[in-house]
Amino acid sequence: SGKWGRATAIAKELEEQCWTPISKLRQVADALDVEMHAGLASEGGCKLKMLITYVDNLPSGDEKGLFYALDLGGTNFRTLRVHLGGKEKGVVKIESEEVSIPPHLMTGSSQELFDFIASKLAKFVSSEPEELHPPPGRQRELGFTFSFPVKQTSIASGTLIKWTKGFNIEDAVGEDVVGGLTKSLEKIGLDMRVAALVNDTVGTVARARFSNQDVIAGVILGTGTNAAYVECAHAIPKWQGLLPKSGEMVINMEWGNFCSSHLPLTEYDQALDAESLNPGEQIFEKIVSGMYLGDIVRRVLLKMAEEVDFFGDTVPPKLRIPFVLRTPDMSAMHHDTSSDLKVVGNKLKDILEINNTSLKTRKIVVELCDIVATRGARLSAAGIFSILKKIGRDTVKDGKKQKSVVALDGGLFEHYAKFRSSLESTLKELLGDEADETVGIEHSNDGSGIGAALLAASNSQYL
């Protein structure tokens, strides 16, 4: 058969391998549930770390005052000043600055990274007007959102387990994250106390809980993916400390590292993983999150170019560059509604230097985007479903319609509309009509930043 037949066959094979019928999603959710129990029972040996966050008191809505936050996630980092006004006024004011992290700092030394962060924070603070200065003898307080797996030893300390996403700074692994930052703050002469060390998922839960007491979980779909939820303290056998008064503890699942034979994995995923900074790790993240989706599509296009001359008799050289096709561009192509798929044509030209593509070619590109995004979205829904199942919120018990809200945040969820709608409809399908009525999804805007400031407030030394 000709080029089209063989290209269609590659797309068809991808579709079959990425297929996620509800029965498969239930198997994935069950496998997650098993791993959740294992991760809560003991330390180590599990795919899901189920990290204890030391957040056993979520915001009540009464938090007040001026607090700072640092949000270090994927490629950017932000400094925030958050003015909290308690029950009546809520979040009064947010001021923030965003800086992109110079790539060499993502794989350099930890001291360089922390010095860079501290200097940006110092600059942010130094531009404050007099009236925002704390009274003499009072320290500024900071919530530090550090979105990598950390083994916490208290609300404001913890050691880095490993890097993920694009980071790889060897000398930081096993070291206290807050200690590192504090050293840099002292060096630069900035008098600020790190009052809380939080994962972005935990910040998302905290932010959403400040305004809505039905919130039970937070999910990030951004550069990476992860989730945190409110667990009953009795259900955490590995917890050695006193039971918290609230009876609850927020657990950071680190679900990006989930892996199971039930996950639909393809040759492209395997190659992406093998060539990544962290082979064998973060497999769920590598098929769901924003850092990777575009690159999966690129890999399929490369195979088509190599094996069936999909873009002519030579392979477009740009197509060989890892991560050249970014998820926002994939998303733009996927949402192209023009009759001649103009956006797709332009993206192929501008990013991959492939000119004069036919409508037929463009249609196949859109199909690939759809297959890869749909798999990620449906697997995310299975993840959310597994949390609801774990805490018994997946069914309506004795007619009791207790409301459960899951807060989501991250660039992928926010901006990739087709991803988001597929996630929402799949979750509905998994829950069924009755239970779906009791479960809500909400966008927790800037949860990772504001949530950290809220947790700094509830862990202030001046309470």
According to DSSP, the β-strands at 192-198 and 140-146 are parallel
Residue type, 150: V
Q: Which residue has the tokens 């945190």?
A: 228
**According to CB under 5 A, which residues from 15 to 44 bind Mg ion?**
none
Nearer to ligand ADP, 180 or 224 (CB): 224
- For the chain, how many residues are written? 463
DSSP track, 420-452? HHHHHHHHHHHHHHHHHTTEEEEE-TTHHHHHH
How far apart are the C-alpha atoms of 194 and 445, rounded to whole Å? Answer: 23
In the complex, the smallest distance separating the C-beta of residue 280 from ligand ADP, rounded to whole angstroms, is: 22
Give the number of other Cβ atoms within 10 Å of residue 48's Cβ: 23
Q: How is residue 399 written in tokens? A: 């007619």
DSSP-assigned beta bridge partners for residue 127:
none
SS3 state of residue 171: helix
Catalytic residue status for 200: yes
Options 289, 386, 448, 459; binder of Mg ion; rule CB under 5 A? 448
Residue 76 Cβ, how far from ligand ADP at the closest point, in Å?
A: 6
Q: Which of 39, 59, 73, 383 binds Mg ion (CB under 5 A)?
A: 73
Q: Closer CB to ligand ADP, residue 201 or residue 438?
A: 201
Give the Cα separation of 217 and 229 in Å (integer): 4
Query: Is 176 among the catalytic positions?
Result: no
Residue nearest to Mg ion (CB): 73
In the complex with ligand ADP, which residue's Cβ is closer, 152 or 331?
331
- Select from 225, 205, 201 the least CA-distant residue to 215: 205
**Partner from Mg ion, ligand ADP, none binding residue 447, C-beta < 5-8 Å depending on class:** none
For residue 199, give the nearest of 140, 251, 259 by alpha carbon.
Answer: 251
266 binds, among Mg ion, ligand ADP, none (CB under 5 to 8 A by kind): none
Q: Which does 223 bind (CB under 5 to 8 A by kind): Mg ion, ligand ADP, none?
A: ligand ADP
415 binds, among Mg ion, ligand ADP, none (CB under 5 to 8 A by kind): ligand ADP
Pick the closer one to Mg ion by CB: 180 or 411.
411
Site residues for Mg ion, 205-234, by CB under 5 A, read 222
Report the interface residues with ligand ADP, using CB under 6 A: 73-75, 222-224, 290-291, 327-328, 331, 410-412, 415-416
* Rounded least distance, CB 411 to ligand ADP, Å: 2
Query: Which residues have a Cβ under 8 Å from the Cβ of 231 and sit 6 or more positions away?
Result: 40, 248, 249, 250, 251, 390, 391
| Min CB(149)–ligand ADP separation in Å | 15
Q: Which is nearest to 40 in space by CA: 248, 239, 229?
A: 239
Q: Give the one entry of ligand ADP, Mg ion, none that residue 412 binds, where binding means its C-beta sits below a cut-off of 5 to 8 angstroms depending on kind.
A: ligand ADP
Reading the block at residue 437, the tokens are 């009525």
Candidates 71, 200, 329, 336; catalytic one: 200
Lateral strand order in the sheet of 439-443: 51-52, 248-252, 225-232, 215-221, 404-409, 439-443
Q: How far is the CB of 200 from Mg ion (least distance, A)?
A: 5
Regarding 143 and contact with Mg ion (CB under 5 A), the answer is: no
Q: Please classify residue 274 by burial: count the beta carbons closer than 10 Å to its beta carbon, then call 0-12 exposed, 13-18 middle and 19+ buried.
A: exposed
| Nearest to 422, CA basis, from 365, 376, 389 | 376
Catalytic-role residue among 165, 286, 389, 390: 165
The structure tokens 């994995």 sit at 265
Nearest to ligand ADP of 290, 383 (CB atom)? 290
Among the listed ranges 14-22, 25-33, 68-76, 293-301, the one in contact with Mg ion (CB under 5 A) is 68-76
Angle at 269 between CA 265 and CA 273, to 5 degrees: 125
Closer residue to Mg ion in complex, CB, 226/426: 226
List residues with catalytic annotation: 165, 200
Contact residues toward Mg ion (CB under 5 A) are 73, 200, 222, 448
